[in-house]
Structure 1
Amino acid sequence: MIRIALAALLVCMPAMARADDPPVPATVLVAFDSEKIRPLIVEGVADRATGRKVEANDPVRIASISKLIMALATLRLVEEGKVSLDADVSDYLGWELRSPNFPDAKVTLAQLLSHRSGLRDRVDYIIPLGESLRARVSNPEAWFADAPPGEAPFEYANLGSPVVATVLEAATGERYDRLVERTVFAPLGIEACLNWVGCSEERVQRAVVLYRDTGEVARDDAADLPPNCAIPVAEGVECTLDNYVPGTNASIFSPQGGVRIGMIDLARIGQELMREQSQVFPNEMMLPAGEALFAEQSPGQDFFCRYGFHMQIIDDADSPCKDTLFGDGQARLGHAGEAYGLRAGLWFTMEGRQGVAYFTTAVPPRPSAEDEGGFDPREIELMARAQALPAANR
């Protein structure tokens, strides 16, 4: 009997890692409902140079989930009466933003947040300190040529995010990082930041380094963190925000993808969205899905079939979209993140009963540049692992 028990124990034990085995990629997944947050999977190495293991709330660059936070900040400013979703953003910027082929068509925050402004990522959306946002969006290549803003087809474009963030700055006189702190992070008791601006030294030291699947450092190793320069800066320009004028170029905060936040704190944002849907979003733009906020997109969209103000609906059984992550028949709201070998997500059920916030690193790149959207097999496997854990249903 003892031999049998020992044999069973050996079968259950994980194989011993060899010295030449690659480190386990940093992966964190937390589940949440309206009241509780439960870390379910916390594994891997946050910094291979030091061997530091990842912890549940270590801050990581969440890529495009940052857009959801930007939308939330925008809607808070709508509540404050600082901005209007349907106003011409030129009125806030102090200069005229127009599609070159449609000079009489205004551009609005609603269009920008729903990727219907006509802006496209045919020009670089990273605009360093010392360069001009106005000049970048004056390039005809930045615009869809065949339809005006509002009528242009849905096209996911990072370039719209620096425009939105700059509009918010111009309307309030606040730097984008500070207004997000005031309207989103501080009320929820979250310590998070954009491009590490505003995060404490202790928080910076907990940074999750992003690695590519080759093991190459992609972002946020020691050389990429404060006190080194952590914002994009043009050649010959000093890396300081001392003379930055809000409302000129908020691209320096990477609003499209530069939020650094831990998964427990990201889950708090998910809880806020679940608890206060009617307050967070104006009623006329909320559910049912497919109306107003979540407009059906063109048939050519394989991933962003239902997308609104930087929120997406996935896993909808009635949709032909290639967006299955959970596979349990429950549609979910949220946003995905993908950059620098990272995959991440913040998702919660339509009924607001349960959600997850997660990231995993060192994910292989897509097979081709044309392969856009959809979830990586590692993400799908991660969801299956989490759903199989007893703690997932407590």
Structure 2
Amino acid sequence: MRAVALLLLLLSGCAGRPAEVRPAEVQVTFDANRITFASARGIADRATGRRVTIDDPARVASVSKLVVALGVMRLVEAGRIDLDRDVSDVLGWRLRNPAFPDVPITLRMLLSHTSSLADGIDYIVPLGVRMRDAVADPKAWDVAHPPGRYFHYANINTGIVATVIEAATGERFDRVMAREVLRPLALDACYNWGEGCSDAKVARAVVLYRANGDVARDDLGGKRPDCPVVAVAGCDLAAYRPGDNGAIFSPQGGLRISAHDLAKIGQMLLRRGDGFLKPESVAAIETARWTFDGTNGDTSQGFYCRYGLATQTVPTLAAGCEDDLFGDGATWVGHAGEAYALRSGLWIDRTGGRGIAFFTTAVADGSKGQSRYSVEEERIVRKAAGETAVMPK
């Protein structure tokens, strides 16, 4: 009886604690024409015990920005928008840094984070709030630097890019992305569970868990959420006017996509557009528009040192830069993602003709490897790149 009582006491002491979670870790390496390696391990949904696969969609955080850039370049090629035109002309309202009211802001600046916008306000602008009202707050701006001259990574940039896309097309951001990017590339993916994801794909969603086991995001129970956008008071999308606030579909980080489908994007880039984009459009995306010179930007403690149109280039061998994710001497272009205890990436080494798409969940806050990237990211990509560097304890 005493043993039974002790067991009950131990069980009661665990009540309410999150269950231990095994991270879901997926990676797919590729060259221009084939998948060269794929691995998936861990649990996608603790409630059902479902194991993760390379085809299960996860919220890949800021890798979403790179995919937005693909949509922008498709519209540029179609003559619908211009990278260097004042976006105010498309938005129908004046987008200006209040400290520099005469300096136009362009899509090229927004995509390269040189627009002088800053995340001084909440970049998650919900349904019912107009983007023009959100960025009217002076805290949305870096008033010390004019547009076009200083790098300041800010998620709100991508929300405005999505709003420009809507204003130029007259359509919801998620629908434009499905038509211009996801379907042409045969990707079963979507922004914030909006247009583009099949019901079967939604049912395979990867639940994002924190390192302590708490649910962080996307515990869907196999069903599409009732509201696919960020909303605080009702979800009347029928009344939404495209161009008011493209941020409702979380263009900065809300893409749900599998590592396998991310690899298809990487292969398209390695093939220099492959009919989806012109080679010069791919080059425009990849080419670093900004390189840190010691004074011309905020590197986030050495994480960002070269940036293109929603792409990072690593490594940068300069003082103040700690962006050597791969540690193999090669130059890699792509984008990293970090949110809700997930780390992700889509990277290509054009010279080596190779790439990697990956994500891993339940990463502890503050995890840091030899670079500014996490231990988990370095372990995944350095193994894939043939690197044998010992990770710090």
TM-score range relative to shorter protein:
0.7 to 0.9
Corresponding residue of 1:250: 246
Corresponding residue of 1:165: 162
The whole-number CA distance in structure 2 between the counterparts of 1:223 and 1:136 is: 33
Distance 1:103 1:223, change over 3 A: farther
Q: Does 1:176 align with 2:173?
A: yes
Residue by residue over 1:78-123, the C-alpha shift from the partner in whole angstroms, topping out at 9 and shown as x without a partner, is 1000001111101111111111111111111011011011000000
Which of 287, 295, 301 is residue 290 of structure 2 equivalent to? 295
Percent pairwise identity: 47
Unaligned runs of 5+ in 1: 1-19, 390-394
Q: Does 1:41 align with 2:36?
A: no
What is the total number of aligned residue pairs between the two structures? 360
Residue 304 of structure 2 aligns with an amino acid whose one-letter code is F
| 1:65–1:257 Cα contact (<8 Å) kept | yes
Q: Does 1:82 align with 2:80?
A: yes
Corresponding residue of 1:274: 270
Aligned-pair distance for 1:272? Answer: 1.0
Aligned pairs (5 A) from 1:44-193: 44-151=42-149, 153-193=150-190
Aligned pairs (5 A) from 1:349-388: 349-351=349-351, 353-366=353-366, 374-387=372-385
Aligned-pair distance for 1:243? Answer: 1.8
The whole-number CA distance in structure 2 between the counterparts of 1:255 and 1:225 is: 22
Corresponding residue of 1:8: none
Corresponding residue of 1:4: none
| 1:330–1:349 Cα contact (<8 Å) kept | yes
Corresponding residue of 2:337: 337
Higher mean alpha-carbon deviation, 58-67 vs 93-102, is at 93-102
Residue 356 of structure 1 aligns with an amino acid whose one-letter code is I
| 2:151–2:290 Cα contact (<8 Å) kept | no
Residue by residue over 1:121-171, the C-alpha shift from the partner in whole angstroms, topping out at 9 and shown as x without a partner, is 0000001111121111011111111232113x1000001111000001101
Residue by residue over 1:289-342, the C-alpha shift from the partner in whole angstroms, topping out at 9 and shown as x without a partner, is 6xxx43212425211111011111113557762112221111100000000000
TM-score, normalised relative to structure 1? 0.86
The whole-number CA distance in structure 2 between the counterparts of 1:324 and 1:63 is: 20
Residue by residue over 1:255-283, the C-alpha shift from the partner in whole angstroms, topping out at 9 and shown as x without a partner, is 00000001111000111111115825448
Aligned-pair distance for 1:21? Answer: 8.9
| 1:294–1:312 Cα contact (<8 Å) kept | no
Corresponding residue of 1:308: 308
| 1:316–1:329 Cα contact (<8 Å) kept | no
Which of 213, 216, 221 is residue 215 of structure 1 equivalent to? 213
RMSD: 2.4
Higher mean alpha-carbon deviation, 185-194 vs 274-283, is at 274-283
Residue 84 of structure 2 aligns with an amino acid whose one-letter code is D
| 1:267–1:346 Cα contact (<8 Å) kept | yes
The whole-number CA distance in structure 2 between the counterparts of 1:171 and 1:308 is: 23
The whole-number CA distance in structure 1 between the counterparts of 2:352 and 2:171 is: 32
Corresponding residue of 2:29: 31
Unaligned runs of 5+ in 2: 1-17, 388-393
After the TM superposition, which segments of 4 or more aligned residues of structure 1 sit over 4 Å from their partners? Answer: 316-320
Distance 1:285 1:21, change over 3 A: closer
